[in-house]
Structure 1
Amino acid sequence: MTLVLNNIKKKFKDHTAVDTISLTVEKGEMFGLLGANGAGKTTSFRMILGLLDPTEGTVTWAGERLSYKRTKLIGYLPEERGLFPKLTVKEQLIYLMKLKGMKKPEIIKEMKHWLDRFQVPEYENKKIEELSKGNQQKIQFMAAVLHKPELLILDEPFSGLDPVNSDMLKAAVLDLQKAGTTIVFSSHQMQNVEELCEDLIMLKQGKAVLQGNLREIKRSYGMKSISLRADYDLQFLHSIPGVLKIEFNKNGATVKVENETVAEQIFRAISEKGFVRKFEVDEPSLHDIFIDKAGGDNID
């Protein structure tokens, strides 16, 4: 079961929302689709789901185009939530899961399992409008996974969640992946992407500006981050060519540099001035790479 996007493009009159991207997601893989607002993520998701037809190119799952008749194979959590506020959690899930072809006894069984897992069994007969935003998010997630989809699309799944509930949801996503679910998700929280995804594509104005295995991307990316601490003023580092940014803190400084050669120059420079308590070169975070590649777009 492989998801394949082959040179897909989507145009709306004179605007190109997605501009010729290709990717392959294998069964059981966790894939990140990243980009700032307006980069083309949601349009790409809608083409994957068959809600929009590509202007050019093809999208297939297990060799076939996705359509409504195959909806029971797919789970989708949209960025814009779509729950009915006046229905209870139970009513909501029974209605939505019947659309996926599930029978009521099976729906009730799976619902109770997920309510227990998310530590909210008492919400079964509560109306959606009575729940907090975070707990509504849990119910929306349940609506995407209760029918055990083969392919799961998550658009900003961690939005509105506190750290405890975010960790709870991450654990659930990882368990689904271990069970063989193929997952494609987007998130503005780069730490979550680093923790979860193996491969990614980053879009800017509809075009892929970065694509591949996350570890390989970070390893090969030129920019590095240096954590250092010394017993003297480090302001002089601003004058070294190749220093991109310096953030000072009570424990020293974090210095962003163009490459490892610049890091070596900094090490020699501070060693000549006196004792160095800490000097550690790290690969760039995905957040740093995102800002570097998607900078100039609206990242909120």
Structure 2
Amino acid sequence: MNVLLSVEGLEKSFKDKKVLHGISFEVHSGEIMAILGPNGAGKSTTIRNIMGIMMPDAGEVTFHNHQGKGIPRNKIGYLPEERGLYKNVKVMDILLYLADLKDYPLKKAKERALEYLEKFDLKGKENVNMEELSKGMAQKVQFISSILHEPELLILDEPFSGLDPVSQEVLKEEIRNLAKKGTAILLSSHQMNLVEEMCDRVFMIQRGHKVIYGSLEEVKREYANFKCTIHGKNDVSLLERIPEVVRVEQKDDISIIYLTKDVEAPKWLKTLPDDIVINELTLDRVSLHEIFIDIATDKNLLKESERQTFEEEVGGENA
């Protein structure tokens, strides 16, 4: 796939605190890549360096063959986490104003704006002031403003914030359509279920360090062990005696059995004792949400060697 955006060795410090440690990743045309991490991990700083809002202390951001201040910003769309459209300006006026800043033809911008307003159930709102819109409506207008000029790279920071489930589905469909047409999409969100549903690849940052980078399939294979969920009243001690069980969590009559990394799932199922009560059973890998929580809280899903290296680096810098 064509590499549209390349981030190489990005470093950034504020006063005596280093917040980015050699961050590197690529975003390809036509893919949706997630950039994840807990609050304070360095996601926003990375995005602001890509956008040119701030410049890195070291490293390079390359868009096509352009670098640094030479990157053509009119080819990039950006939906920031902080909402900032002028409250006392009409919807159409703000959309056309922002399109004009990107050197996009105003006639075409108006046509596209009307199409998107209808698509997002905002038909007839073009002459309404932004302050009169609900939070969800304003969020949809801001999303439209980020894509109106047909960007080649679209950066979305918490795009589903404030949206009801129906609006989320419309937005997800539009993001997928943009990717199909070749737009490279870098998506930051704390809603792991949506990330897992939509994204092709994942980049996760923790304390300014890369901790995960790869396709969802690769991430699941590398970091996510199998777990078995059993509905039925069973004694924990019985379940803990089953081979290749790491730990068991129970709530009411539901037991979640976490398995060792290299377990062969079909064979393991045959080891279940005959006296286990099973009303319902599911066997799947740990979710992206669980991986995120485990890494963000420094538990044990990372490979031990990588975790040791990461902790040595962080410990050395904090010493």
Q: Same fold by TM (over 0.5)? A: yes
Of 105-114 and 218-227, more deviation after overlay is shown by 218-227
Partner of 2:234: 233
CA–CA separation in structure 1 for the residues paired with 2:198 and 2:224? 23
Contact 2:62 2:71 in 1 (8 A): no
Hey, what's the Cα distance between the residues in 2 that align with 1:139 and 1:278? 44
Contact 2:240–2:248, Cα closer than 8 Å, also in 1:
no
Shift of 1:288: 0.8
Which residue of 2 is the match for residue 120 of structure 1? 122
Are positions 1:248 and 2:251 aligned together?
Answer: yes
Report if aligned partners of 2:224, 2:291 keep a CA contact under 8 Å in 1: no
C-alpha displacement of 1:268: 6.6
Contact 2:234 2:276 in 1 (8 A): no
Task: Output the amino acid matched with 2:237.
Answer: F
Normalising to structure 2: TM-score of the pair?
Answer: 0.85
Runs of 4+ in 1 over 6 A off after TM superposition: 262-266
Q: What is the CA distance between 1:225 and its match in structure 2? A: 1.7
1:295 to 294, 297, 314: 297
2:175 pairs, out of 173, 176, 195, with 173
Q: Quote the RMSD (CA, aligned, Å).
A: 2.4
Work out whether residues 234 and 277 of structure 2, in 8 Å CA contact, stay in contact via their aligned partners in 1.
no
Indicate the SS of the match to 1:52. Answer: coil
Q: Contact (CA 8 Å) 1:34, 1:188: kept in 2 or not?
A: yes
Offset, 1:263: 7.3
Show the counterpart of 1:79. 81
Q: 2:285 aligns with which of 283, 286, 294?
A: 283
> 2:138 maps to what in 1?
136
- The structure showing larger relative contact order (alpha-carbon pairs under 8 Å, at least 6 residues apart) is 1
1:204 maps to 206
Aligned residues of 2:204 and 2:213 also touching (Cα < 8 A) = yes
3-state SS, counterpart of residue 2 of structure 1? strand
Q: Normalised by the size of structure 1, how large is the TM-score?
A: 0.90
How far off its partner does 1:133 sit? 0.5
- Residues 270 and 276, structure 1, Cα contact 8 Å, conserved in 2: no
CA distance in structure 2 between the aligned counterparts of 1:95 and 1:68, rounded to whole angstroms: 23
Kept in 2: contact 1:267–1:279 (CA 8 A): no
Matched residue count: 295
Write the letter of the residue equivalent to 1:233: N
Residue identity (%): 37
Q: 1:27 aligns with which of 26, 29, 35?
A: 29
What pairs with 1:142-181 in structure 2 (closer than 5 Å)? 142-181=144-183
In structure 2, the residue corresponding to 1:122 is in which secondary structure? coil
1:112 aligned counterpart, secondary structure:
helix
Q: Deviations over 1:87-126 (max 9, x none)?
A: 0101111111111112321221011010011111121111
